[in-house]
Every structure is written in C-alpha cells, then in structure tokens.
Amino acid sequence: MAEVLLFHHAQGLTPGITAFAERLRDAGHTVHLPDLFDGRTFDTLDAGMAHVEGLGFGEVLERGTRAAGPLPAELFYLGFSLGVLPAQKLAQTRPGAQGAVLCYSCVPSSEFGGWPAGVPAQVHGMDHDPVFVGEGDLEAARALVAESGTAELFLYPGDQHYFADSSLPSYDPAATELMTARILELLGHPLMTGA
C-alpha cells in the first residue's frame, strides 16, 4: 500500500477533501493531510485566493515542504489545485518520490527543474474548466506527458474546477468516481508498493 501526502485547495481543508482522503484510507493507503491554512476555510475560490496572496505562494510551498519533513522519503504526492504547487514541487525535488497526482492544475515542470526520470504521474481536469484550460495548466500537463513518458492526462467533460470536493456545489460524482478509480490504480503501481 502507498503512503500519500495530500494537499488541499485554496478553499482550505474542507470536509470534501477530508472525505477524499478517507476514500484512499478505506482502500488501505496511509494518507497524511496537512492543513496549510491553520484551520481556516473559505466559502469561495476568490476568498481563498485572497488569503493565499496574503500568505504568499512561497509560504504555501514552504508549509508543504515542512509537512513532508518528518515523513518517509518514499511518498506519493497528491494535490488539488493550489495543493498541486507543493505536491508537484516535492515530487520533482524530494528524493524518493513514488509518484504524483495533480488535480485541476499543473505548472511547467521547468519551475522545479524538470520531471524526475521514472516517476509516474497523473493530471486530472475538466475539459471546459476556465481555470485549468484557460490559465495554462492544460498546456503544462500536455508538456509534462510528452517530457516524462510516465505521466498521463485525464480530461473529464464539464466546466467545474473543484469537481471532486463533495462539500462544494462544483462536485461531480461521476467524474470523481472515475478519477478516484484511476488514482487507486496508480497507487497500486509496482513503484508505489516496492514490488
């Protein structure tokens, strides 16, 4: 079974993110779920992003790095939107990374020095999400797939950003079920289990 470090999105550690982590735990995986916002959650993406801007993106990355510090090197990193930043950074720069799942977001791998050889990844987003499609994440994901040879891009029909957060109006149960199945399949990859 895999050991996963999961980072929440800009609305904070919502009940929907906690529920997603529980799905992975129910499948037998160990999931670490740090709260990068010290207990604060936000009703809208805009309010969450205003908080992030107050903290600074560098501070969010640093909080993610600190969360990984006491954990084993052999981690699988999973991030939702804002949480993709620390997840992707750690997957690319922390030795021992077992893989990454990047949900609703992807930054150019050059931001963190290129994708490490042999590390599998999945990127998940909706095909008409104005954030994922319109702000460069889709292009970064396609470039990652081409560069790495170990990454996969999965697009789902729809225009929602936080589609796998069951506590938000943007929740899409069908897309979430398919995404969860794909993530669980990746978590069973031999690299993840040490087989």
**Chosen CATH of 3-193 out of 3.30.230.10, 3.40.50.920, 3.30.70.260, 3.40.50.1820:** 3.40.50.1820
Total-model pTM: 0.94
Angstrom distances, CA of residue 126 to CA of 4, 171, 176: 23, 12, 11
- Sorted by sequence, the CB contacts under 8 Å of residue 11 that are 6+ apart come out as 41, 42, 43, 44, 45, 47, 48, 162, 165, 168
Examine the pLDDT at 70 and tell me if it is beyond 90: yes
Examine the pLDDT at 193 and tell me if it is beyond 70: no
Residue 184 buriedness (CB in 10 A; 0-12 / 13-18 / 19+) = middle
DSSP symbol at 111: G
72-100 pLDDT tens trace: 999 999 999 999 999 999 999 999 999 99
Examine the pLDDT at 182 and tell me if it is beyond 50: yes
135-149 pLDDT tens trace: 999 999 999 999 999
162-173 pLDDT tens trace: 999 999 999 999
- Sorted by sequence, the CB contacts under 8 Å of residue 146 that are 6+ apart come out as none
Q: Where are the domains of the chain?
A: 3-193
> Tokens 């991030």 sit at which residue?
79
Angstrom distances, CA of residue 142 to CA of 26, 78, 118, 136, 154: 31, 18, 17, 10, 10
Helices and strands: H and E segment counts in the chain:
8, 6
Examine the pLDDT at 119 and tell me if it is beyond 60: yes
What is the overall mean pLDDT for the chain?
95
What pLDDT was estimated at residue 189?
A: 58
DSSP symbol at 115: P
What pLDDT was estimated at residue 192?
A: 39
Can you read off the two tokens belonging to residue 57? Answer: 């993106």
Examine the pLDDT at 191 and tell me if it is beyond 80: no
% of the chain residues with pLDDT over 70: 96
8-33 pLDDT tens trace: 999 999 999 999 999 999 999 999 99
% of the chain residues with pLDDT over 90: 95
User: Is residue 45 helix, strand or coil?
Assistant: helix
